């Protein structure tokens, strides 16, 4: 597919994980990519991966907490490619804090990176787009959440609202949508899980597995493409059905019971 031929895309937080997956997917479909993040070595590795597949990309270092860095990022984009068509707001951080324990430093760290930067990037991008698309990366935490995920969960809910505001104010020239990932098997997530915990987490997903960066990248590519030309102000939940499960033990117990009732695995043993 060449849905993004002759297009220029900026993907924030694209040095690893979901962002890197999104950048690579857009590049495979013809976009010229600006990869950005705080770590030059990781960013240049993403650029090398894109170039190895025949794509075109540059790395621009930028800290999403610094408004001057954000402005410079979009100046560098236009300098490199003479235009901009797609922005994917993806950079994000979190703290394992509850409402009572979170500090002002925690609040500023998350809100400035995951929320304020999305707004500033959208402003800078819109000023340089004739027409195009913005995709904001939120989370399934915008719909349901867990303890000690504040202010991350509050910010992710805010992103959904910000997307609607952007869709109204920037349309019809620019479409703006949100993708809401669930559990995704990126390096950081896997490092925090034992093998048993991973199997248990997989079991509570109707699709029977964790997500992959490629799953989210496919959804982002759709929302950014002309195929989604009548979609704006929307939130696309990409969580393997996790949000459809009310109680964690329900799905694995249900599957085990169905297997037993159907006789699968309960027939007579064959002798060698």
pLDDT tens digits for range 84-136: 999 999 999 999 999 999 999 999 999 999 999 999 999 999 999 999 999 99
Which pLDDT does position 263 carry in this prediction? 64
Query: Is 107 contained in some domain?
Result: yes
Comparing 220 with 249, the larger pLDDT belongs to: 220
Residue 91 lies in a domain: yes
User: What pLDDT does residue 258 have?
Assistant: 76
CATH number at residue 15: 3.40.50.720
Is 264's pLDDT higher than 70? no
Q: How many CB atoms lie within 10 A of CB 253?
A: 12
Across 139-231, the runs of DSSP E, i.e. the strands, are: 174-181
Q: Give domain status of residue 253, yes or no.
A: yes
pLDDT of residue 271 exceeding 50, the answer is: no
pTM of the model: 0.90
| Exposed e or buried b per residue across 48-69, where buried means at least 16 C-beta atoms within 10 angstroms of its C-beta | ebbeeeebebbbbbbbbbeeeb
pLDDT (mean) for 3-8 = 97
pLDDT of 248: 76
- The active-site residue out of 117, 152, 153, 215 is 152
pLDDT tens digits, one per residue of 163-190: 999 999 999 999 999 999 998 987 777 7
- What pLDDT digit, counting tens, does each position of 61-76 carry? 999 999 999 999 999 9
Domain count, the chain: 1
* 151 domain-assigned: yes
Bond before 72 cis per omega within 30 degrees:
no
The answer to whether residue 168 is domain-embedded is: yes
The whole-chain average pLDDT of the chain stands at: 92
| In a domain? residue 160 | yes
Quote the domain boundaries for residue 74: 8-262
> Quick check: 31 and 9 in contact, CB under 8 A?
yes
Contacts of 227 (CB under 8 A, 6+ apart): 3
- Predicted local distance difference test score (pLDDT) of residue 188: 73
Is residue 1 a part of any domain in this protein? no
Is residue 80 domain-resident? yes
Whether 201 shows a pLDDT value over 60: the answer reads yes
Interatomic CA distance for residues 228 and 11, integer angstroms: 19
Element (H, E) at 88: strand 86-89
Q: Does the annotation count 152 as an active-site position?
A: yes
- Output the pLDDT for position 265: 47
Long-range contacts of 65-69 (CB under 8 A, 24+ apart): 65/109, 65/112, 65/113, 65/117, 67/120
């Amino acid at each position: 597919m060449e849905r993004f031929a002759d297009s220029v895309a900026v993907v924030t937080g694209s040095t690893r994980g979901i962002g890197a997956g999104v950048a690579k997917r857009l590049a495979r479909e013809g976009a010229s990519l600006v990869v950005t993040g705080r770590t030059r070595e990781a960013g240049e590795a993403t650029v090398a991966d894109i170039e190895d597949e025949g794509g075109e990309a540059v790395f621009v270092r930028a800290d999403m907490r610094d408004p001057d860095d954000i402005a410079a990022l979009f100046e560098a984009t236009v300098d490199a490619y003479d235009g901009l068509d797609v922005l994917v707001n993806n950079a994000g951080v979190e703290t394992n804090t509850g409402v009572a324990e979170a500090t002002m430093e925690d609040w500023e760290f998350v809100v400035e990176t995951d929320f304020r930067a999305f707004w500033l990037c959208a402003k800078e991008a819109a000023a340089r787009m004739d027409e195009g698309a913005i995709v904001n990366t939120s989370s399934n935490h915008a719909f349901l959440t867990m303890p000690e995920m504040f202010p991350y969960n509050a910010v992710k809910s805010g992103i959904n609202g910000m997307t609607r505001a952007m869709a109204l104010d920037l349309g019809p020239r620019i479409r703006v949508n949100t993708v809401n990932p669930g559990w995704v098997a990126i390096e950081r997530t896997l490092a925090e899980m034992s093998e048993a915990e991973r199997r248990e987490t997989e079991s509570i997903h109707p699709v029977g597995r964790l997500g992959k960066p490629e799953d989210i990248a496919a959804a982002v590519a759709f929302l950014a493409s002309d195929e989604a030309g009548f979609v704006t102000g929307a939130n696309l939940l990409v969580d393997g059905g996790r949000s459809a499960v009310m109680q964690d033990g329900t799905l694995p117990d249900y599957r085990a019971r169905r297997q037993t009732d159907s006789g699968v695995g309960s027939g007579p043993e064959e002798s060698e």
